[in-house]
A and B are shown apart, each in its own frame.
Chain A
Amino acid sequence: MVLLGWLALLANGWGSLPPLGQMLSPFSGLWSYTPASSVLQKSHHLNRHLNSAVTFQQDRQGVFHIFAENDEDLYLAQGFLVASQRLFQMNFIARVAEGRLSEWVGPRAVSTDIFFQQMDLARAAAKSADKMMDEPFTAMALEAYSRGVNAYIESLHRGQVPIEYKLLGAKPDAWSPYRVALLQKMMTYLLTGGSRDPQLTRSVQKAAELSGLEKLFPLWEKEAAPSITAEDFHVRGARAPSVPLSLDHMDSPFTAGAAAVPLPHPGNGSNNWAVSGAKSRSGFPLLAGDTHLTYQLPAQWVALHLKSPTQDVIGFSLPGSPGVIIGTNRHLAWTVTNGGADVLDWHHITWADSPESTGLSSGKGRQFYLVGKNRRKAQGERRTLKVRGGLNRSVSVTWTHLGPVVDFKTDQESYSLAAHWIGHEATKEVTSFLKLNRAQSVEECFDTLEKDYTAPQQNFLCADRSNIGLYVAGKVPLRPPGAGRLILAATEEPSWTEFVPSAHIPRALNPERGYLLSANQQIYNESYPYYFQWLYRPSHRARRITELLGTGESFSPEDFIAFQKDAYLVPAQKTLPELLRIIEEQKDQLSSEERAYLSELKEWDYQAHHWLTHPTFFHQWWDEIQALLWSELWPDPDLYLWPRMDTTFEWIQKGEVHLAGKEGNEGWTRSTHPVVLEAFKKAYTSSAQKSWGESNLATFPHLLRLPLWERSRVDSGAEESVHAQSGHHGATLRMVVSLTYPPRIWGHHPGGPSGDPLSPDYEAWMDEWASGDLMEWVYPEEPLPTDQTVLSVGYGGAP
């Protein structure tokens, strides 16, 4: 019994204790660990795949360089090199997308797996992989890259697989174009899957007896900071009337929980801006970008340089996918921000497996569903979900004409919603990025984005030596404002069937003001006739960047690097004076300590520096205001949507929120000024002594959530500042490019070049990231002398 128990424990682990048996085995476990650089230096596995010589180098800063004599060898080598650094990471994320993580990590991943299985990212990825393989260059790149990854996997001896595999007792999955497409679909979900339709639906249903909800959830930001203005763009016209917040088609309340849906972080976004040569010190365009995602280790990006006779590109690559996603070549630099178009709608599915059945189904059967009064047949299959250390689960994957069906469940009820999502289309983003890697002008940049790019919708900022341009790339549904904000009925036609014509997609080229920017705000102004989204992100960062760019005349790369660390809080500047005035009116109700803090706040310069307490207090104050004001109507912010801060602020200024009752029902009224005071007192008690660095500690968990491999840094910034940093979320890369001859690039990402937690390169750039010091990268035309490298290896006859 002792023996059996001991074996079970060592093979499966216990709680947070990992399975130690395999890992401690002297010949194949932890102790036989081999650093990736040793594998690269000793492996000759790549040689038989190469047509000609390839050189790998890692410069002293840690950036990788690959020199090849043709593109096929280049992508093959990229796959081999990236696998040597990030094999587990890319494999892990592809498994998340596929809904097969439980097989590795056990029951804790079951609900996420069921969601992604039901969303059927696997089918979407298979379709996209097929489509990408129709394009010869993309097909060559995908196949070569996959062969490179697989060559690396084959080159590993039993004891050399990355340590995470040893911990899990798992083996690497063979790589393929399908797995590249899975990663693209995962990124599309992260950037477009944050639908708040279920939350808004619950809010509207809960307040069904009140009128005027449109005023709490407006479609347009009052003080917008658009990137595309009337002068930039020729399409103008009146918008169609907005769709009201009505739920007449839902005959029962939508009460199902949201816990099972892995919602992407609402702050996923980015900044980018560029100035023309007329506004830069060098006389050539200058461009900056930083992308905001959930922090993780290993880092989301790989910094590398790819050189062949047809391309010479340097920047940030997504582990597992060929080419460079954000970067520069010798002629063109580009970076992206998320556009936030509403491209995910939910249709309520009522199962009708017997002709009499019209209500909510228990989930059994699922062969027929109702569209109006008609029954339609669903397509479906049951898949087995393997669960490590637990019972296997059976997952129902069902497709309707509106999209795949996801079950929102509570203990008592199950709601089936069909997802109509742009990500389910066959798309070929990889083609766009591979073309950008070789493009030579802003014109070529716009051309590929128009022809090849579908999703996720992104604001591409491109700059060549003479031009700066912004292109809002990706398909956007053609529909009236506000359509698709709520859970929809199952209709014959899905919520959209057409897209905004590509000729009418917003773009700007060399505006007179000399700069361009985007920061996830509403990109257009009221003269643009189409509807994209209802307030994805507020315009705070965009307003601050506009201010910074508008006040200068001649910018240097150092200026842009400093702007990326700008911690100024526009929402504090906009709201704090009024809030303090309201408190002043009720000052007699404050204690002496609270009065002293009030005086301190008046002196605050709205900077979210980590050593201050004011940013902590400000955020807590607003959290308390929101909770006190709205929780009476909508008790749980995870289930219900609350009005945004800027909307709440408008009501605070009015002194009262009043919603009239419908059809003789009683209305709802709340005075706002007492709420502001009560929130002040609560926030003072809970957070006035906490430094912002302490309460907003930048924390980077490892993918497996093992505390030993987690890292953290004290840092300034906040979600609403240009320096976006909110504890577990923020800038996952920063880049500045000057389009001089030759171009110069500065950049870093948190973490380091290596994904191996045992390597010093795992966290090599953490301190630079926290200090905001961007390294200027080496961008050589020929392989570097070996004394300027930490790794230099030749394959296929290269010296």
Chain B
Amino acid sequence: MIRLLGFAAAMVVLLWFAPWWALAPLGIGAGWLQPGRARSSALRYLTVSFVVLFALTWIIDAHSGSAVGHLLSSELGAPKWMFYCASAFILASVVAAGALAGSSLSQLKKKP
């Protein structure tokens, strides 16, 4: 649990300072350090990343005074949480794909 919280915090810090694609090496690193089975490792990080990104997106959109979510939902006729979901899912899948890669690489190394 502590590891996952640490991972989430690292993700927020990384996103603040680095471009969005830095989520990929973060995922690789996490997958490498906590391999488990590759698929379950990817799923775990997908879930955590999704929750963090969804919350970040919601908070930032609401606090920037931008009303982007509102505009998108009025243009496309869908509730704005769906856009937060889609956005968070797309970026979280970068982390998950990274974790899949990291986990697989780690297990490859362990094989004699």
CA distance A673 to B55 in the complex (A): 73
- Judging by beta carbons under 8 Å apart, are B87 and A24 in contact? yes
- Judging by beta carbons under 8 Å apart, are B65 and A26 in contact? no
- Judging by beta carbons under 8 Å apart, are A3 and B20 in contact? no
A19 to chain B, nearest CB (A): 10
- Judging by beta carbons under 8 Å apart, are B21 and A21 in contact? yes
CA distance A159 to B61 in the complex (A): 12
The answer to whether A10 and B90 touch (CB under 8 A), given A3-B101, A31-B61, A31-B66, is yes
A25 part of interface (Cβ distance < 8 Å): yes
B:5-43 near A, CB below 8 Å? 15-16, 19-21, 24, 27-28
CA distance A30 to B56 in the complex (A): 12
- Judging by beta carbons under 8 Å apart, are A38 and B65 in contact? yes
The answer to whether A25 and B68 touch (CB under 8 A), given A6-B97, A31-B61, is no
The 0/1 profile, CB within 8 Å of B marked 1, for residues 172-198 of chain A is 000000000000000000000000000
A233 part of interface (Cβ distance < 8 Å): no
- Which B-chain residue is minimally distant from A33 (CB atoms)? B66
CA distance A7 to B93 in the complex (A): 10
Q: Could you say which residues of chain B place their CB within 8 Å of the CB of A10?
A: 20-21, 90, 94
Q: Which DSSP category, helix, strand, loop or mixed, fits chain A's interface?
A: helix
- Judging by beta carbons under 8 Å apart, are B53 and A26 in contact? yes
A27 part of interface (Cβ distance < 8 Å): yes
B14 to chain A, nearest CB (A): 10
- Which A-chain residue is minimally distant from B102 (CB atoms)? A3
- Which A-chain residue is minimally distant from B101 (CB atoms)? A3
The answer to whether A27 and B16 touch (CB under 8 A), given A7-B24, A34-B66, A758-B71, is yes
- Judging by beta carbons under 8 Å apart, are A3 and B24 in contact? yes
Q: When the two chains form the complex, which single residue of B53, B65, B75 contacts A34, counting CB atoms closer than 8 Å?
A: B65
- Judging by beta carbons under 8 Å apart, are B68 and A31 in contact? yes
Q: Could you say which residues of chain B place their CB within 8 Å of the CB of A38?
A: 65
B109 to chain A, nearest CB (A): 17
The answer to whether A27 and B21 touch (CB under 8 A), given A2-B100, A6-B97, A33-B64, is no
B47 part of interface (Cβ distance < 8 Å): no
B51 part of interface (Cβ distance < 8 Å): no
A789 part of interface (Cβ distance < 8 Å): no
Q: Could you say which residues of chain A place their CB within 8 Å of the CB of B66?
A: 31-35, 758
B48 part of interface (Cβ distance < 8 Å): no
The 0/1 profile, CB within 8 Å of B marked 1, for residues 3-47 of chain A is 100110011000000001110111111111111001000000000
A238 part of interface (Cβ distance < 8 Å): no
- Which A-chain residue is minimally distant from B66 (CB atoms)? A33
The answer to whether A6 and B64 touch (CB under 8 A), given A22-B20, A24-B20, A26-B53, is no
Q: Could you say which residues of chain A place their CB within 8 Å of the CB of B15?
A: 25-27
- Judging by beta carbons under 8 Å apart, are B87 and A31 in contact? yes
B57 part of interface (Cβ distance < 8 Å): yes
- Judging by beta carbons under 8 Å apart, are A708 and B68 in contact? no
Q: Could you say which residues of chain B place their CB within 8 Å of the CB of A20?
A: 90
CA distance A21 to B93 in the complex (A): 11
Name the residue in A26, A38, A159 with the highest tally of chain B Cβ atoms < 10 Å from its Cβ. A26
- Judging by beta carbons under 8 Å apart, are A2 and B97 in contact? yes
- Judging by beta carbons under 8 Å apart, are B100 and A25 in contact? no
Q: Could you say which residues of chain B place their CB within 8 Å of the CB of A32?
A: 60, 64, 66
Q: Could you say which residues of chain B place their CB within 8 Å of the CB of A708?
A: 75
Q: When the two chains form the complex, which single residue of B53, B64, B69, B94 contacts A7, counting CB atoms closer than 8 Å?
A: B94
- Judging by beta carbons under 8 Å apart, are A758 and B68 in contact? yes
Name the residue in A6, A27, A28, A33 with the highest tally of chain B Cβ atoms < 10 Å from its Cβ. A27
A10 to chain B, nearest CB (A): 7
CA distance A21 to B91 in the complex (A): 7
The answer to whether A6 and B94 touch (CB under 8 A), given A33-B66, A34-B66, A35-B65, is yes
- Which B-chain residue is minimally distant from A760 (CB atoms)? B71
Q: Which DSSP category, helix, strand, loop or mixed, fits chain B's interface?
A: helix
- Judging by beta carbons under 8 Å apart, are B64 and A25 in contact? no
The 0/1 profile, CB within 8 Å of A marked 1, for residues 70-86 of chain B is 01000100000000000
Q: When the two chains form the complex, which single residue of B21, B24, B68, B75 contacts A30, counting CB atoms closer than 8 Å?
A: B68
Q: When the two chains form the complex, which single residue of A3, A25, A34, A758 contacts B91, counting CB atoms closer than 8 Å?
A: A25
Q: Could you say which residues of chain B place their CB within 8 Å of the CB of A7?
A: 21, 24, 94
The answer to whether A24 and B100 touch (CB under 8 A), given A32-B64, A35-B65, A758-B68, is no
A241 to chain B, nearest CB (A): 62
CA distance A630 to B101 in the complex (A): 65
Q: Could you say which residues of chain A place their CB within 8 Å of the CB of B27?
A: 3
CA distance A641 to B15 in the complex (A): 57
- Judging by beta carbons under 8 Å apart, are A11 and B97 in contact? no
A264 to chain B, nearest CB (A): 32
CA distance A35 to B68 in the complex (A): 10
B84 to chain A, nearest CB (A): 8
- Judging by beta carbons under 8 Å apart, are A25 and B65 in contact? no
- Which A-chain residue is minimally distant from B91 (CB atoms)? A24
Q: Could you say which residues of chain A place their CB within 8 Å of the CB of B28?
A: 3
A67 to chain B, nearest CB (A): 27
- Judging by beta carbons under 8 Å apart, are B19 and A25 in contact? yes
Q: When the two chains form the complex, which single residue of A2, A3, A22, A31 contacts B19, counting CB atoms closer than 8 Å?
A: A22
- Judging by beta carbons under 8 Å apart, are A31 and B57 in contact? yes
- Which A-chain residue is minimally distant from B67 (CB atoms)? A758
The 0/1 profile, CB within 8 Å of B marked 1, for residues 347-382 of chain A is 000000000000000000000000000000000000
Q: When the two chains form the complex, which single residue of B21, B64, B75 contacts A11, counting CB atoms closer than 8 Å?
A: B21
Q: Could you say which residues of chain B place their CB within 8 Å of the CB of A27?
A: 15-16, 56, 60
CA distance A28 to B22 in the complex (A): 13
B106 to chain A, nearest CB (A): 15
B18 to chain A, nearest CB (A): 9
Q: When the two chains form the complex, which single residue of A22, A26, A33, A159 contacts B56, counting CB atoms closer than 8 Å?
A: A26
Q: When the two chains form the complex, which single residue of B64, B90, B93, B94 contacts A31, counting CB atoms closer than 8 Å?
A: B64
The answer to whether A24 and B90 touch (CB under 8 A), given A31-B66, A758-B68, is yes
CA distance A30 to B90 in the complex (A): 14
- Judging by beta carbons under 8 Å apart, are B61 and A25 in contact? no
Q: Could you say which residues of chain A place their CB within 8 Å of the CB of B101?
A: 2-3
A563 to chain B, nearest CB (A): 36
Q: Could you say which residues of chain B place their CB within 8 Å of the CB of A2?
A: 97, 100-101
Subset of 14 A-B contacts with CB under 8 Å: A3-B97, A21-B20, A21-B94, A24-B87, A24-B91, A26-B56, A29-B20, A30-B68, A30-B87, A31-B57, A31-B61, A31-B87, A33-B66, A758-B71
Residues of B within 8 A of A (CB): 15-16, 19-21, 24, 27-28, 53, 56-57, 60-61, 64-69, 71, 75, 87, 90-91, 93-94, 97-98, 100-101
For the complex of A and B, the 7 pairs showing the least CB-CB separation, nearest first, are: A25-B20, A3-B97, A26-B56, A33-B66, A31-B61, A24-B87, A31-B60
Extra contacts besides A20-B90, A33-B68 (8): CB < 8 Å: A6-B97, A7-B24, A21-B21, A24-B90, A26-B87, A32-B66, A159-B64, A758-B67
